[in-house]
Structure 1
């Protein structure tokens, strides 16, 4: 799927969520941002389940479950960004370029 298709799907999801929101305005905006916390919690739950860290429950998830939950975090963040701006793709691309520049174009520690 091309970047444009991904962002078109994000826009479709945003439109669908807006059409079905139960809390409009600022409250709805804040709830959409809080959805990220819920999704990150599901990643944590899946990691705990994949590693069997809860002795009462044992192994309840797979690493495929963790991957799926991470994808949910990414999608939720993209929709949240689209909620804040119709220029979400441009904002994301610009930010990604800044991160790339500062992370990948500077010498590593100990290198000259």
Structure 2
């Protein structure tokens, strides 16, 4: 019999590849295959976020049928996938700016957590 207890707040189920190992691997792959290098390449990698956020917007509009000409063209699962793409793209862009991306993100997340939870409700 398997344990049906859901993971606690500080545990994660085995979800496949390690987040930061994957981010590093994607960063390396992109760095080795980008047609434009240097400062422009870094800026283009950051601008890729705009494209991904636009795809989230398109999926939300499609999931809600807000374009009467097109109707419902997406699902909420599509929205979830596009949001994941935004997160991945942002983490790879952060890794592009610093090899210490994990530590930078951890520190910033902690500051946001402290600031948010310290706010009166």
Runs of 5+ consecutive residues of structure 2 not aligned to the other structure: 1-13
TM-score w.r.t. the length of structure 1 is 0.92
Number of the residue aligned with 2:101: 88
Structure 1 CA distance for aligned equivalents of residues 31 and 77 of structure 2: 30
Shift of 1:5: 1.9
Q: Which runs of 5+ in 1 are unaligned?
A: none
Q: Distance in 2 between matches of 1:88 and 1:21?
A: 20
Q: 1:44 aligns with which of 29, 50, 57?
A: 57
- Counterparts of residues 10-49 of structure 1 (less than 5 Å): 10-49=23-62
After TM superposition, which residue ranges in structure 1, 4 or more long, deviate above 3 angstroms? Answer: none
**RMSD over equivalenced CA pairs, Å:** 1.4
For the residue of structure 1 that corresponds to 2:18, the secondary structure is: helix
Alignment of 1:67-106 (within 5 A): 67-106=80-119
More helix by share: 1
The residue correspondences of 1:55-66 to structure 2 (distance < 5 A) are 55-66=68-79
